[in-house]
Amino acid sequence: MDAFLSVQGLGKTYTVAGRPAPAPVFESVSFGIERGEFVCIIGHSGCGKTTILNILAGLEQASEGYVFMDGREVRGPSLDRGVVFQGHALMPWLSALQNIAFAVQSRWPEWSRARVEDHARRFVALVGLEGAELRKPAELSGGMKQRVGIARAFAIQPRMLLLDEPFGALDALTRGVIQDELLRICAETRQTVFMITHDVDEAILLADRILLMSNGPRARVAEVVRNTMPRERTRLSIHHDPQYYRIRNHLVDFLVHRSRLIQQGAADAASAGGQGVPREVSPGLDTSPTSPEIPA
C-alpha cells in the first residue's frame, strides 16, 4: 500500500545571476508518511528543510521529483494542508477568534456566521485560549500567538499539518507547554504531521520517525530513525527510558559527525547513480551491554 504522503526523487536547484547554481541544495529526496504519523526532519541550516516543507505545502516548486498526497500530485497550495510557521503570521487588525474564524470561513464559505464562530471557539478552547480570544495579536504573548496559529491550522481540519519550527522563538517553559498541547491534540485527532525542528529532544518527544538530512549542497535524507519509545511519552518521564539516550546519542552523533562525512561523499554517490532510499534504523532497541554515554 502506498504511503499517505509520498515524496519521490525531490530536488531543488536555485539560479544565481540567471544561471543554475553549481549544485542543487538537495537532491534525490524520497520518503513516505503514513496517515496519522508524526514525522520530524532534522539537519543543519542550508540543507533545504524549509524548502522541502514549502514544496509539500505547494508554496514552492521543486526542480525535479514529485509529491503525492493520498494519490494526488501536490501542485499548489490547498486547505487540505495546514501550515504553521515560526512567525505567527496573524492579521494584526483581527482578534484571536477572528483570525481563526477567517480561516474557517475560507474553508467553508457556505457556513453561517454563527456556525463559523462556534467552530472557531471550539479550537480556541482546544489550545487553552478561553478568555483571551477577543484580544488582538499585539495584546498576546509570543506563546499565545503561536497557540492561535496552531488553532487556526487545526480549525480548517487539514488532512496534513506542516510545522516549520513553530516553537523556535519561544522560551523553554512556554515551548514545553505548547509541545504538550500539540501532543494532546494530535492524539485526539490522529493528525498527520510533518515538522521541522533543530531540537533533538523535541523530535524524540513528538515524532514517530525522524528524518536526518545530510549537509548541503546536494543534501539528502541520509537516514530514517524510528522512535521505538511508547507513544504516550511525556516531557517529565521521557528521560527515564533507556531508549531515550540511545536515540538521542544516535541523533547527536549524526548531526556532529556523520552529516558532514555524508555530505563530503555526496558528489561521488551522485556520479555513481544516486543514493537510493535512505535506510531506516531503530537505535532505541540497541541491546548492547555497554551503558549509553549521555552527551553533555
Element (H, E) at 163: strand 160-164
Buried b (16+ CB within 10 A) or exposed e, 107-129: beeeeeeeebbebbbebbebbeb
Percent of the chain's residues with pLDDT above 90: 54
Pairwise CA distance, residues 140 & 95, whole Å: 10
Identify which of 114-118, 227-231, 275-279 has the greatest average pLDDT: 114-118
- List alpha helices for the chain, DSSP H: 49-57, 96-107, 113-126, 142-155, 172-189, 200-206, 242-253, 259-264, 266-271
Q: Can you tell me the mean pLDDT for 272-276?
A: 50
Cα→Cα distances 57→45, 60, 76, 155, Å: 20, 8, 7, 17
Residue type at position 156: I
pLDDT confidence bin for 168, thresholds 50/70/90? confident
Q: Which pLDDT score is estimated for 91?
A: 93
Cα distance from N-terminal residue to C-terminal residue, the chain = 42
State yes or no: pLDDT of 173 exceeds 90. no
Q: Which pLDDT score is estimated for 266?
A: 54
Q: At what angle do helices 142-155 and 113-126 cross, to 10 degrees?
A: 130
Q: Can you tell me the mean pLDDT for 119-148?
A: 91
State yes or no: pLDDT of 234 exceeds 50. yes
Q: Are the C-beta atoms of residues 26 and 213 closer than 8 Å to each other?
A: yes
Domains and CATH numbers, the chain: 5-80+158-285 (3.40.50.300)
Q: Which pLDDT score is estimated for 273?
A: 45
116-130, 157-171, 278-292: lowest mean pLDDT where? 278-292
Q: Which pLDDT score is estimated for 287?
A: 56
Percent of the chain's residues with pLDDT above 70: 91
Helix, strand or coil for residue 247? helix
86-90, 125-129, 186-190, 214-218: lowest mean pLDDT where? 86-90
Q: Which pLDDT score is estimated for 290?
A: 46
| Backbone phi and psi for residue 31, each to the nearest 5 degrees, phi listed first | -165, 165
Cα→Cα distances 35→6, 32, 47, Å: 11, 10, 26
| Residue 64: all three cell numbers together | 525535479
Q: Are the C-beta atoms of residues 144 and 132 closer than 8 Å to each other?
A: yes
State yes or no: pLDDT of 213 exceeds 90. yes
Phi and psi based region of residue 16 (left: phi greater than 0; alpha: psi -120 to 50; beta: remaining):
beta
| Backbone phi and psi for residue 114, each to the nearest 5 degrees, phi listed first | -65, -40
Pairwise CA distance, residues 44 & 263, whole Å: 11
Q: Name the pTM for this structure.
A: 0.87
| Residue 164: all three cell numbers together | 516549520
